[in-house]
Amino acid sequence: MPLSKLWVIAYRDLGRHRRRSIFTLLAVALGLGLLLTLDGLISGVVADSLANSIRLRTGHVQIRGASFQEDQLSLQAKDLLPNPDQLVAQAKALSEVKAAAPVLWSSVILNTIDQSAGLQLMGIDTTSSLYDPIRAGVVAGDWPTPDDREGILIGRGLADSLGIGVGQKVNLTLVNADGRPDEGTFTIRGLFSTGIPSYDQSAVFMPLDKAQTFTGAGNRASLIMILLNNQNDANKVAAALSGPTVSVLTWSDLNKFFVETMATAMSFYAILDGIVILIVAVIIVNTLLMSVFERFREMGILAALGMKGRQIRLMFLLEAATLGLLGVAVGIVIGIAGVAYLATTGIPIGDKMAAVAGSNFALSATMYGRFDVNSFINLSLATLFVVVLASLYPAWYAARLEPVEALRAD
């Protein structure tokens, strides 16, 4: 019997029980649509968090002193870079580099009359384009000038939590490069908001020259932060800037904890994918087995008329493939709609929830989705494959029916 005839029989059987066929199709579509939407949300959150970390915290490449440890934020001369300007010039000479600037890091305590907060002091070149995202995020006051000897910039979330604002004076306390406690009085020049609560509530910025004087670091810097035109050039640039007295790290090294955590989380998400697809497979098996039981006599007649077992198997496989293709098509539409909504509107989680993620996860206060074509293709093909695979047992069961016994069935 020609394949076209088998498909016509399969199509008619699906139309014979339209309600059951429609519900089965919807099960496939909703299952796939849910997976595509969730995958789009996870892809968006992961990509957004990594991009936030790179543009605000790590850059694409960092040059550090060989003994510098980020968790210690040492101000000792042996841990700092003695020639930051020379290294910046060397980095900027590379065509792959978009921006490079020295940074001085230190731990400080910000004190007000009533409260205090432990922060990370960042002495920066306030003229560098490296800090355009923060400069664009100034929501009150002004961006500090390079020669400002008293001004600092803090996050709006931090200012709100401490009850302070632009123009107010605060004290900063630290242990300087000589190992002695020191403090200074500074004026809040401006407030910024990057949309990353964990970052806005943990950093205080001041011009590099003032930070070097305040910490006693001299003309040294903790590191050189570098942004690239193309993220994929990180290893090439790192190799060009490496040397015996410095440590050069790429964005993947600097965000290693985040990348490894996300890889582990994605493995659990893959298990969720498998569970949803298996549920869809069970529904398909149930639908086709019901069809087989209802059509015993029909199978017997077809077999008696000369239809071979392989043709009966193929007929049921065509039924499953039709349901699968239509379900996948509708599921893709649902997935596109879901990801489009998440990509434009997002899911607000609030500043407090985003701040809970801490320094290793630069979560925005709103989670946005992202279209991932490869994910759409892979999940759609996997769903279709499992649907067809699940139909093998009902098809095999129908094909092995003896014509005489099938004709006697009620």
pLDDT tens figures, 224-252: 999 999 999 999 999 999 988 899 999 98
Neighbours of 145 (CB within 10 A): 12
Domain check: are 81 and 228 in the same one?
yes
Domain check: are 208 and 96 in the same one?
yes
**Cα separations (Å) of 336 from 38, 326, 339, 376?**
11, 16, 5, 9
Q: What is the DSSP letter of 255?
A: T
The per-residue pLDDT of the chain, averaged, comes to 83
| pLDDT given for residue 234 in this prediction | 93
**252 in any annotated domain:** no
Tell whether the model's pLDDT for residue 359 goes beyond 70: no
Find the mean pLDDT for residues 373-396: 83
Label residue 404 by pLDDT band (50, 70, 90). Answer: very low
Contacts of 210 (CB under 8 A, 6+ apart): 123, 148, 149, 150
**12 in any annotated domain:** yes
| pLDDT given for residue 101 in this prediction | 95
Domain check: are 204 and 265 in the same one?
no
**249 in any annotated domain:** no
Cβ-in-10-Å burial (0-12, 13-18, 19+) of 30 comes to middle
Contacts of 265 (CB under 8 A, 6+ apart): 42
Domain check: are 226 and 264 in the same one?
no
**62 in any annotated domain:** no
Is the model more confident about 142 or about 287?
A: 142
How many Cα atoms within 13 Å fall on the side-chain side of residue 344? Answer: 5
155/158 Cα distance (integer angstroms): 5
Q: Nearest 5 degrees, angle CA 357-CA 157-CA 109?
A: 85
Contacts of 37 (CB under 8 A, 6+ apart): 334, 335, 338, 339, 342, 369
- DSSP readout, 336-348? HHHHHHHHHT-EE
Total number of domains constituting the chain: 2
**124 in any annotated domain:** yes
**253 in any annotated domain:** no
Domain check: are 104 and 231 in the same one?
yes
Structure tokens at 356: 């809970």
Domain check: are 262 and 220 in the same one?
no
Domain check: are 132 and 155 in the same one?
yes
Reduced to 3 states (helix: H, G, I; strand: E, B; else coil), residue 223 is strand
pLDDT digits (tens, 9 = 90+) for 273-288: 788 888 877 877 777 6
Last residue of a domain, one of 216, 244, 272: 244
Residue listed under structure tokens 């009150």? 140
Domain check: are 263 and 239 in the same one?
no
Structure tokens at 253: 């090294």
Domain check: are 26 and 90 in the same one?
no
Neighbours of 245 (CB within 10 A): 10
| pLDDT given for residue 298 in this prediction | 60
**59 in any annotated domain:** no
pLDDT digits (tens, 9 = 90+) for 97-138: 999 999 999 999 999 888 889 999 999 999 999 999 899 999
Label residue 398 by pLDDT band (50, 70, 90). Answer: low
Read off φ and ψ for residue 361, nearest 5 degrees.
Answer: -130, 105
| pLDDT given for residue 257 in this prediction | 81
Find the mean pLDDT for residues 193-221: 90
Domain check: are 78 and 49 in the same one?
no
Domain check: are 279 and 145 in the same one?
no
Structural domain span for residue 20: 3-53+258-408
Last residue of a domain, one of 214, 244, 274: 244
| pLDDT given for residue 48 in this prediction | 86
| pLDDT given for residue 122 in this prediction | 94
CA dihedral 121, 127, 128, 131 (to 10 degrees): 50
Find the mean pLDDT for residues 180-194: 93
Whose CA is closest to 35, among 377, 368, 390? 377
**58 in any annotated domain:** no
Reduced to 3 states (helix: H, G, I; strand: E, B; else coil), residue 229 is coil
Cβ-in-10-Å burial (0-12, 13-18, 19+) of 177 comes to buried
Domain check: are 93 and 233 in the same one?
yes
Last residue of a domain, one of 244, 273, 299: 244
pLDDT digits (tens, 9 = 90+) for 35-84: 899 889 888 888 888 888 888 888 999 999 888 887 778 888 899 999 89
Label residue 362 by pLDDT band (50, 70, 90). Answer: confident
- Pick the most confident of 96-100, 293-297, 298-302, 386-390: 96-100
Tell whether the model's pLDDT for residue 18 goes beyond 50: yes
Q: What is the DSSP letter of 143?
A: P
